[in-house]
Every structure is written in structure tokens, then in C-alpha cells.
């Protein structure tokens, strides 16, 4: 049995705030009353796993950087958690691992800055998600959603790229994550009150469109 909510955080390349997003989303889910487990599927860096140990998280984090993650993870998670968040390696480096994670996903979150170079990567990301979803054993395909990170207040580019991506038929979540020291310097530290950050707003938006009971 798999959790009601399985969020895969993915992008084509590294340095796109995947691990930061996975960390804060996991804690925001816990803050929303969901029993949550996080999965570090990036075997080369293991940043999420190392962060959880250094920050002494209450959320369990396991390392599972394998290309058959979709087969192994359900047996590990079983029915003990409401939500699972999977931090993936860059698609260009470990496509098999990312595709395997997507086969389990209810949602695929793509954190990206609203810039031209990151916008140009979206078609390739979308293709990977669609190809992996087509190989699922059953159930609906995951919902692909973009999350703007490292945003600057009042920057016109944010609205421009939001419209471009929406016109391309992709969902862009309403909340944006600013370029703040809180996130830039967060690695290795405990995460407190994630529900009170932009990531809490992101989780709230996801939960409003997901059939899940919170305690």
C-alpha cells in the first residue's frame, strides 16, 4: 500500500533547489498533520539524508538511490505514512532513478527560478514525466506542477514566466519561494515552522486539490 500523497521533487540538473524544497515540503506536510517520510534518492550527494542527520529531524529520512525504487519503496513505507517526499538526483545524470520515482508519484514538483534557461528545460522535464507515467502499473498520471524559487520581490519576470508556462499547459503553483537567507543557509540546521513559510502555502495548495484527511 502506498501513501495517499507521494511528491517527487525533480529537475533536469542540479542546483535547482530540489533538496531545499524537499526538506521544507516534508516539514510543512508534517506541520499540516500528515505523518511523513522523506526519501533521498540521490546516491551521489545524499544531501537530504545528511541534512536530516545534522539537523536532527523528527521526520524519518531513508536513502534509496535505486532504479527499482517504485518496486522497493511501497514495501518499506507500507501503510505507516500519509505522505512521502522523494528528493531525486538530476534527470540528466540518473534518469532511471528519477523515472522510477515518478512511477509512484501523485505529484511531481519542479522547483525552478523564473529565468529563460530554466524555462527552456521544462519540455525535457515534461517528456521524462510523461514517459515514466506511461509505464505505471495503474492509476492516474501524476500531476506536474512548477514551483518558482529564488524569486525577487516585484520582479516582472515572475509573472512573465508564470504566463508562459501556463500557456504551455502546465500548472504553476501560486506561492513563490523568495531568494532568502533562511533557505540559502538552511542546510544542516533544524527546520522550524515550515508551515509558516512559502512552502507551507505550497503544501496547503496541494492539499486543497488532493483527497487526503489530515489529523
Per-residue confidence in pLDDT tens, the chain, 215 aa: 455 799 999 999 888 899 999 999 999 999 999 999 999 999 888 899 999 999 999 999 999 999 999 999 999 888 899 999 999 999 988 999 999 999 999 999 999 999 999 999 999 999 999 999 898 877 789 999 999 999 999 999 999 999 999 999 999 999 999 999 999 999 999 999 999 999 999 999 999 877 554 44
> What CATH architecture is 5-207?
3-Layer(aba) Sandwich (3.40)
State the pTM of this model: 0.94
Domain residue spans of the chain = 5-207
Q: Please give the torsion angle defined by the CA atoms of residues 62, 11, 22 and 166, in that order, rounded to the nearest 10 degrees.
A: -140
- Residue whose C-alpha cell reads 533521498 in the numeric block: 40
Q: Where are the beta strands (DSSP E) in 43-165?
A: 61-63, 83-87, 107-112, 143-148
- With H, G, I as helix, E, B as strand and everything else as coil, classify residue 70: helix
Grid cell, residue 148, equals 518558482
Across 161-171, b (16+ Cβ under 10 Å) vs e yields bbeebeeeebe
Report the Cα–Cα distance between both ends of the chain, in Å, rounded.
20
Name, in order, each residue with C-beta under 8 angstroms of 143's C-beta and a sequence gap of 6 or more.
Answer: 106, 107, 108, 171, 209
User: 97, 67 in Cβ contact below 8 A?
Assistant: yes
Neighbouring C-beta atoms of residue 145, cutoff 10 Å: 18
Amino acid at each position: 500500500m502506498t501513501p495517499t500523497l507521494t511528491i517527487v521533487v525533480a529537475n533536469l540538473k542540479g542546483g535547482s533547489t530540489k533538496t531545499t524544497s524537499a526538506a521544507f515540503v516534508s516539514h510543512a506536510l508534517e506541520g499540516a498533520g500528515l505523518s511523513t517520510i522523506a526519501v533521498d534518492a540521490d546516491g551521489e550527494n545524499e544531501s537530504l539524508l545528511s541534512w536530516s542527520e545534522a539537523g536532527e529531524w523528527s521526520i524519518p529520512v531513508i536513502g534509496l538511490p535505486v532504479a527499482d525504487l517504485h518496486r522497493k519503496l511501497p514495501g518499506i513505507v507500507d501503510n505507516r505514512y500519509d505522505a512521502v517526499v522523494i528528493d531525486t538526483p538530476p534527470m540528466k545524470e540518473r534518469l532511471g532513478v528519477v523515472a522510477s520515482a515518478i512511477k509512484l508519484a501523485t505529484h511531481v514538483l519542479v522547483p525552478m527560478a523564473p529565468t529563460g534557461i530554466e524555462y527552456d528545460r521544462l519540455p525535457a522535464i515534461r517528456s521524462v514525466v510523461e514517459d515514466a507515467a506511461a509505464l505505471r502499473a495503474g492509476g492516474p498520471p501524476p500531476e506536474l506542477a512548477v514551483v518558482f524559487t529564488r524569486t525577487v520581490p516585484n520582479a516582472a519576470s515572475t509573472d512573465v514566466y508564470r504566463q508562459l508556462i501556463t500557456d504551455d499547459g502546465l500548472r504553476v503553483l501560486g506561492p513563490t519561494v523568495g531568494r532568502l537567507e533562511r533557505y540559502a543557509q538552511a542546510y544542516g540546521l533544524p527546520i522550524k515552522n515550515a508551515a509558516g513559510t512559502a512552502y507551507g502555502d505550497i503544501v496547503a495548495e496541494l492539499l486543497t486539490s488532493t483527497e487526503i484527511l489530515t489529523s
